[in-house]
Amino acid sequence: MISGDFMLFPQLNESRWLFSLDGIWNFTLGGEAFDENAPKSIIKKSEKIYVPASYNDQKADARFRDHYGWVYYQTAFALPAISNARIMLRFGAVTHACRVYLNGEEIAEHTGGFLPFEVEITDLLNAGENLLTVAVCNIIDSTTLPVGNEIKQSMFGSGLPHFESVKATKIKPRNYPNFDFFNYSGIHRSVCIYTTPKEHIDDVTVTTEINGDSAAVTVKTDVENASVVIFDAEKNEVACGKSGEALTITNVHLWQPGKAYLYTAKITYKNDCYTQKFGVRSVEVKGDKFLINGAPFYFKGFGKHEDSETNGRGINEVLNIKDLSLMKWIGANSFRTSHYPYSEEMLSLCDEEGIVVIAETPAVGLGKESYGKLGNAHKKVVEDMISRDKNHPSIVMWSLANEPYTEEDCAYDYFMPLYNLAHKTDPQSRPVTVVVCNNDYTKDKTAVAMDVICINRYYGWYIFGGDLDAAKQAMTAEMNYFSKYGKPLIITEYGADTISGMHSAVPGMFSEEYQVEYYKCINSVLDSFEFVIGEHAWNFADFQTVQGTMRADGNKKGIFTRDRKPKLAAHYFRSRWQNKK
C-alpha cells in the first residue's frame, strides 16, 4: 500500500500543490494490543495533541509519559477541487510503527520511526470532509531498530532481584530501552498532502566530478528525457541539457565546510517539474586522512540528539537554527546524527550552513542475539536512508550502527554485507563506518574493516572515573593499538556527566571543572596521534533518558544544557576549536 522507494521532499511549485496537515489533532491512548475498531470511526473520548511532536511530554500526566503500546491520532480535512493530478499523503516520520486509515479504511502500514513514507490517495478521497486516523505503536524489542531489552531491564535501570516480595509483585508492561535516550514516540515530523501530475518525476540523483576549475554534473531521474537547467546561487543559468547527461559548470564554486555554496537543478518532465539543490564537492579517505575537496578535514563537533522540552523528539526548526548557530559560535564544523536519521529539514539546513554530517541508522543497542532477529529491517533502513539523503552535500559518511556487539566473527559477517550495500546504494560511494564501544577493543571484528575507525570511549568516567592520570594512560594505549592499521580514526563519543552550576575548587566528578579537565586530558592524547582526524564530544546538549539510578533527569554530558545554556566546557572548546585546523 505504500508508495515506491523514492520519496522526494515535497515542494510547492508551478506543477505541484502542497497542503500541510500539521496542527492540533484529536488523540487517545490505547493499550498493548491493537484495537481493530478504534481507527474506523470518530474517536469519542479524545484529548488534544499537537502534530508533529512526541506525545509523551505534551500532558502533565504519567499515562502519556510512560505509555506502552498503541495510541490513536485523528484529524479531519477537506481539499479544494483537484483535477488531473496524483494526490499523495506523506508522513515525515512516525515512531515506531503505524497503521494509517482514511475514512475508516486502512491505506498504509509502516515500520521504522525515523524515515518518511507516503501513499497515494487520489481515488480514496471523499468529495467533502475526510477523516484521517493514524494508529501508532511505541513497543521496542530485540527485533526493532532501535533495540529494546526483553529481560525487563533498561540500559541504565536496575535489574529485578529474586526477593520473595519482588516475585509477588505484578509490574505493568513497559518498554526497556537498550539505548541511553528516552523512547519518545508519536508523529514526529510533518504530515502533508501534495500533488503531482499523473506523469511525474519520482526520483532525482545528482552526482558531480571536479575537473580543475570546472565540474561535470549529472542529474539522473526515474523518467527518460527530462530537461535539466542548472542555476548558481545568484539564480544565473550555468548549464542545461537532458537528464543522464554530464553537464559542465565552468568556474565552479565548491561546497566547502563552513563555506557552503549550493547550485539548483530544475528538472522538467512533461507537465511536472522539481527543483533539487546540490553542492559540488568530493569526499575521499586516503591513507589515514579524510579529504574533502582534496584537503585534509578534521571533525570538530558533537554527537547530538533530536531532543527538546515539550517537543521531545518532534521536529523543532527553531531549535535547529539555534543549534547550528551555537555550533558556529563554539567553532564546531560537524556532528553525527546519533542515533537515527535526522529530519530532512535539518540536513537541508546543514547544506545551507556548511555543517558536515555523519548520518547514522537507528541501529543502536544491537546485541549478539539481534543479528539473527532483525531480518531485512537493517538492510532496508540503510537503503531507505541513503535513498532519502543521497543528494545532501553536508553528509560525508554513513554510520551503520552505534555500539553494537562486535567481538566475534558473527559481527563481521553481519556488518560487511551492510557495508557493501551502503557503498552500492550510494551514488557517491561515501565512506562507511560502524561506531563501536568495546570493553576489549583488541577483539573487535568490525571497526578496523570500515573506511574510518569510529570509537566511543569513556576513560575518566565509566572507566577510571575521577582518575585522569589513569584515563590518559589507557587512552594512549588504545590509540597506540589502533595506529597500526593505517586508517583514520574519529573519537565519536567521549564525555563526563556535568551538573550545570556545580563547581569545585578541586575538580571532582559531576562538576563543571571536572568536565573541562577531562576533555583537556583526553584531547592531549588525541593531539599526539596524526591518524586521529576528529573529535565529537558527547553530547552537544543534555537530553532526556529513561529513569534509572545512573540518570538524574536525563543524561548530563551536554556541553550545553538542555535549554542551550553553555557550561564551562563550552568556553574551553570554543577556545580550542577556533584555533584548531
Residues labelled as active-site residues:
403, 493
Q: What does the block give as the cell for 98?
A: 503505524
Distance set, CA 335 to CA 51, 182, 275 (Å): 27, 20, 27
Burial annotation 515-541 (CB, 10 A radius, 16+ → b, else e): bbbbbebbbebbeebebbbbbbbbbbb
> Which amino acid, one-letter code, is at 168?
A
Beta strands in 252-306 (DSSP E): 263-269, 272-278, 283-286, 289-292, 295-296, 299-303
Q: What are the CA-CA distances from residue 348 to residues 206, 220, 280, 351, 395 (Å)?
A: 15, 20, 15, 5, 10
How many CB atoms within 10 Å of residue 131?
A: 18
Phi, psi for 182 (deg, rounded to 5): -70, 145
For residues 568 and 502, is the Cβ–Cβ distance under 8 A? no
Place of cell 545554556: 565
* CA separation, residue 241 to residues 225, 228, 347, 353, 391 (Å): 9, 5, 28, 29, 19
Lookup result for grid cell 481493530:
36
Q: Which ranges of 361-405 does DSSP label H, i.e. alpha helix?
A: 377-389
**Host H or E run for residue 248:** strand 246-249
**Cα angle, residue 249 at apex, residues 248 and 250 outer, rounded to 5°:** 110
Distance (Å) of CA 218 to CA 118, 255, 394: 27, 16, 18
The Cα-based distances of 285 to 288, 295, 370, 397 in angstroms read 7, 11, 30, 10
User: CB within 8 A of 549, min separation 6: which ones?
Assistant: 156, 157, 158
φ and ψ of 579, to 5 deg: -110, 0
DSSP 11: -
Q: Classify 89 in phi/psi space as left (phi over 0), alpha (psi -120 to 50) or beta.
A: beta
Q: Is the separation of the CB atoms in 254 and 264 below 8 Å? A: no
Distance (Å, rounded) from C-alpha 385 to C-alpha 382? 5
Burial class (CB in 10 A: 0-12, 13-18, 19+), 133: buried
- Give Cβ neighbours of residue 53 (< 8 Å, ≥ 6 apart): 186, 187, 188, 310, 311, 312, 314, 315
Q: How is 205-237 classified by DSSP, letter by letter?
A: EEEEEEETTEEEEEEEESSTT-EEEEE-TTS-E
